[in-house]
């Protein structure tokens, strides 16, 4: 097999949580272009359906939208059942669903802290366990978790301790799961993006929000990333091209954490 053949994902099945928009949509599109069938798992079914149809039209793979609250164990189990009934296998999981808020610790309600933890890290426990049952039987699989450079450094000047804490937890969860499940042929890695211009953040960047200038100054490449710039690493980690890669953190941040 030539090196470029190892990047092919023909007929594989990939789940992307939070895949309807932003980083999740970009990664889903990239692995679809590499040949994988896609499940867009999102709490917003309308947006998920739109993305699934776009991917089917542009790539020719099968794409399924599934409504799921990734913090609800029953809904997560139901999602896996639905996927197995339709496809009979799960090869790739992108744990991408996440939220963040700029709130000082002293001003944060405990319920807000818990919600950020539930969506950003507890959901990965639930989804990985549900999908892991399938992957362990298959004796193969690749799990790619979306963390953040915020799990490695403390961003400035915005206060976001809850988000940073949750993303740090994602990195350690990734490493721990990689070690525990290596014997089952399951690889687990994490992509840690820096500042990215997405549908949600684009207006802030374009309006030159008060923090944007500092973010750009602290980034050696002097710009934010765009979601499509995660496509290459997404395909790499999903494919056999990364067959000896597990428990690793891939920071895609324009050099921010190199300073």
How does residue 1 score in pLDDT terms, banded at 50, 70 and 90? confident
The catalytic position among 163, 195, 236, 256 is 163
Residue 209, pLDDT score: 72
The catalytic position among 128, 150, 166, 167 is 167
Looking at the DSSP bridge assignments, the partners of residue 193 are 252
pLDDT tens per residue across span 56-66? 999 999 999 99
How does residue 208 score in pLDDT terms, banded at 50, 70 and 90? low
Residue 201, pLDDT score: 76
Mean pLDDT on 146-154: 98
Q: How many CB atoms lie within 10 A of CB 229?
A: 16
How confident is the prediction for the chain on average, in pLDDT?
96
The catalytic position among 123, 142, 148, 150 is 148
pLDDT tens per residue across span 172-187? 999 999 999 999 999 9
* Cα–Cα distance measured from residue 142 to residue 127, given in angstroms and rounded to the nearest whole number: 13
Residue 205, pLDDT score: 78
Please give the CATH number for the structural domain made up of 4-258. Answer: 3.40.50.720
User: What separation, in Å, do the N-terminal and C-terminal C-alpha atoms of the chain show?
Assistant: 39
Q: Does the pLDDT of residue 138 top 80, yes or no?
A: yes
Residue extents of the structural domains in the chain: 4-258
Q: What percent of the chain has pLDDT over 70?
A: 100
DSSP string, 194-243: -SB--TTTHHHHHTT-TTHHHHHHTSTTSS-B-GGGGHHHHHHHHSGGGT
Contacts of 174-179 spanning 24+ positions with Cβ under 8 A: 174/145, 174/147, 174/247, 174/249, 175/247, 177/128, 177/143, 178/246, 178/247, 178/248, 179/247
pLDDT tens per residue across span 37-86? 999 999 999 999 999 999 999 999 999 999 999 999 999 999 999 999 99
Distance of CA 142 to the CA centre of its chain: 12
Q: Does the pLDDT of residue 207 top 80, yes or no?
A: no
Active site residue 163: yes
pLDDT tens per residue across span 97-108? 999 999 999 999
Active site residue 53: no
How does residue 199 score in pLDDT terms, banded at 50, 70 and 90? confident
Helices (H) and strands (E) in the chain, counts: 9, 7
Looking at the DSSP bridge assignments, the partners of residue 23 are none
Q: Does the pLDDT of residue 118 top 90, yes or no?
A: yes
How does residue 95 score in pLDDT terms, banded at 50, 70 and 90? very high
Task: Between 211 and 10, name the one with better pLDDT.
Answer: 10
Q: Does the pLDDT of residue 210 top 80, yes or no?
A: no
């Amino acid at each position: 097999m030539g090196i470029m053949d190892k990047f092919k994902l023909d007929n594989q099945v990939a789940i992307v949580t939070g895949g309807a928009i932003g980083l999740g949509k970009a990664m889903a599109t990239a692995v679809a272009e590499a040949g994988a069938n896609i499940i867009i798992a999102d709490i917003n079914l309308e947006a998920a359906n739109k993305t699934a149809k776009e991917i089917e039209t542009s790539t020719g793979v099968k794409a399924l939208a599934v409504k799921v609250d990734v913090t609800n164990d029953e809904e997560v189990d139901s999602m896996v059942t639905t996927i197995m009934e339709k496809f009979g296998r799960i090869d790739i999981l992108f744990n991408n669903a996440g939220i963040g808020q700029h709130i000082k610790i002293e001003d944060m309600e405990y319920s807000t802290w818990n919600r950020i933890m539930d969506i950003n890290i507890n959901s990965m426990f639930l989804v990985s366990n549900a999908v892991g049952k399938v992957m362990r039987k298959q004796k193969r699989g690749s799990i790619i978790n979306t963390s953040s450079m915020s799990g490695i450094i403390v961003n400035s000047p915005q206060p976001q301790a809850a988000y940073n804490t949750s993303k740090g937890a994602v990195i350690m969860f990734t490493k721990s799961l990689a070690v525990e499940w290596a014997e089952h042929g399951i690889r687990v890695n994490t992509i840690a993006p820096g500042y990215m211009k997405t549908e949600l953040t684009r207006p802030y960047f374009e309006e030159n929000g008060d923090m944007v200038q500092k973010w750009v100054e602290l980034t050696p490449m002097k710009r934010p990333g765009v979601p499509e710039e995660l496509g290459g690493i997404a395909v790499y980690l999903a494919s056999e091209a990364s067959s000896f890669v597990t428990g690793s953190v891939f920071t895609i941040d324009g050099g921010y954490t190199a300073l």
